[in-house]
Chain A
């Protein structure tokens, strides 16, 4: 599954109708968003709650 396919699927799942041209426009922003969110999730994993095993 390409990044474009993943974005199209995510948009459908969110109930959005996104045209091909909108998908093209959205793709760079989506990539940047994914990179930042992945880094944020990784940071959360590195700093777990000290109370938990």
Chain B
């Protein structure tokens, strides 16, 4: 395997070869930097920290030479530009923070550094993570590696592009309504939103504080597990899919789904049964309220978070983010509290379903990657805004805080589809085991482009 080939390998394989000193971190960084230049048109990166990465790689090489270890020692990574990085500008994809250079790392970043990771740079995102297209008005329209006329999803779009196009070994994203799982599904990689509160969000620019999560975006399920262990600071026990009870909800999660997506998700669930899981139909009738509850909660919380700049610096926001913040100022306190009461019903309903099943299996998103600039999705009997359609199946698990993993399960219309596996609170082990079974059966989706 050449160094260039290794750029497409899973992070766990990269780490293994570095530990065995089969490859040098310096060579690896050079290979990734060359690829980043070539893939410029995808607009994955906001800042490339090439010289810093080379310096860190040389230090890692010396450590490896001395026989030192670390789970990520010498592994080149890149981070969503919403996570504060000491001494490296952190823009949040915004004009407002275009020159902000934090004095401290976010906790998750500091844990990656302690594990030995090398940082290649900061990745593009939807402005302030407030949207799901990553069509960024200040740092460029990010492009899906499978078809550059389509969006990569967001808000962690740059992270998913960089992982799929082999521009880093692994990445971190953040997820307030689906911002890890949506780009992972649309670009064909793995995205894990851990249990709410299990990975510290200190040093991450907030969007909706009761909904915000940090998690890995990676090329394999094993990579996601390793990165979770590092950023959560705890081991994730091994588990098996044999005997696992998988809940397949009808109703909300089966409506307004592209037929190609529905077929692939159903086939993947059948595959899990063949691997020894048991399937059970479940009902989650309160989930229809998740759309309204998410909208009210996020609009209000984001308006509160942005009160330091909005409306005072309204003109410095992109038009889309500005409109969302304006709407947030129109949410009443009474409606916010009504939404929180309904949100508790969603949690209670999910909790009782998890008394019967170990995992829920649903589509991560109901459609393949939409075109750049596409405003609406047309279903049989209605139209739906693209951003609303993309978050419809992910946002319920931001509201409930349950862990959720998106794993590629095939191609529809030549574009990736993700299955979403949702688990009990603090039981990432079980969804990772189910995700591993999906990955073993489906395999990697191949290279999107040359």
Report which A residues bind B (CB closer than 8 A). Answer: 10-11, 14-18, 22, 25-26, 28-30, 32-33, 36-37, 39-41, 43-44
Contacts and interface: CB of A to CB of B under 8 A. Distances in A.
- By size class, the interface of chain B is 20 to 34
B311 A16 contact: yes
4 closest Cβ contacts across the A-B interface? A36-B292, A14-B329, A40-B292, A10-B330
Nearest to B388: A32
B327 A29 contact: yes
A44 B292 contact: no
- Please classify the interface of chain B as helix (H, G, I), strand (E, B), loop, or mixed, using the class held by over half of its residues: helix
Given A10-B330, A41-B338, A36 B295 contact: yes
Contacts of A10: 330
Given A18-B326, A40-B293, 18 more contacts: A15-B311, A16-B326, A17-B311, A22-B319, A22-B322, A26-B327, A29-B323, A32-B385, A33-B296, A33-B299, A33-B330, A36-B291, A37-B296, A39-B292, A40-B342, A41-B338, A43-B342, A44-B338
Contacts of A22: 319, 322-323, 326
Contact of B330 (A14, A25, A39, A40): A14
Contacts of A39: 292
A40 B338 contact: yes
B132 to A, nearest CB: 14
Given A11-B330, A40-B335, A26 B289 contact: no
Contacts of A16: 311, 326, 329
B319 A25 contact: yes
A14 to B, nearest CB: 4
B377 to A, nearest CB: 14
A31 to B, nearest CB: 11
A15 to B, nearest CB: 7
A26 B338 CA distance: 23
A40 B299 CA distance: 15
Interface string B356-378: 00000000000000000000000
Contact of B323 (A17, A26, A37, A44): A26
Nearest to A37: B335
Nearest to A28: B385
B327 A30 contact: yes
Contacts of A44: 338, 341-342
